[in-house]
A = this chain, B = another copy of it.
């Protein structure tokens, strides 16, 4: 048996329309109204994951546990461009993020990358997120709370021009408009030998970041972009979808040395 509990984030999956409705049981009303009839919260709590739930009109949904991926793609309230899963995942691996790590990011954006960092560092780890705009903090907080990740995130309402408080963190991630202005500050809290990642959407920004990095004690610089192409799932007519995302961002990684 694997049932949701009062704090679960669940999916009601509409198989017919291939559509996912992501819900937080903690805030769900006792009678939840779908477009196809009402479902009692009680009923959801008594159904195994992977099982069917019918509305009072007999419309069928499948109950699934929501993954962080579902949450980012379908439920996150976006005030900004988000870091996409293909990029977020590579950033995690390339920055060598592990359970227990302490990571700094700035800014918080809509909280997508924050959520991924928080999930991977786990309960023993910590994400410190610097953000200067209160509206972004408020929105991201709401997003991260929904996915029960707030316990391991500390948000600092601060302009990073003023510097960072931490020392000896395992990784730093910078996703702001003019990252070159803050790079010198951003590598100070980083352990020697560890990596910083910078995400920018334009080639002009890549050039300025690279120029600034040349000036700083950073080596082993990598610039890349990641493209993901989704394919249709008809086995007899296998082919990619007609369109794809052509660009999200350029990813820049560098390693801090001590001289």
Residue numbers of A with Cβ under 8 A of B are 2, 13, 15, 18, 20, 48-52, 62-65, 67-69, 85-86, 88-90, 92-96, 98-100, 116, 119-124, 168, 191-195, 201-204, 206-208, 210-211, 214, 217, 219-247, 250, 255-259
Contact = CB atoms under 8 A, between A and B. Distances in A.
Contacts of A225: 228-229, 231
A226 B93 contact: no
Contact of A239 (B202, B211, B224): B202
A238 B206 contact: yes
B50 A69 contact: no
A243 to B, nearest CB: 5
7 contacts: A48-B258, A62-B219, A92-B93, A93-B116, A99-B122, A203-B204, A227-B229
Contact of A226 (B18, B210, B226, B250): B226
Given A13-B220, A120-B120, A242-B247, 7 more contacts: A2-B192, A88-B93, A89-B90, A89-B94, A99-B99, A99-B122, A222-B233
B192 A48 contact: yes
The 6 A-B pairs with the shortest beta carbon distances in the complex, nearest first, are A50-B192, A49-B193, A99-B122, A244-B246, A67-B96, A99-B99
A230 to B, nearest CB: 5
A165 B116 CA distance: 31
Nearest to A232: B223
A180 B214 CA distance: 28
Contact of A51 (B67, B85, B201, B257): B257
A197 to B, nearest CB: 12
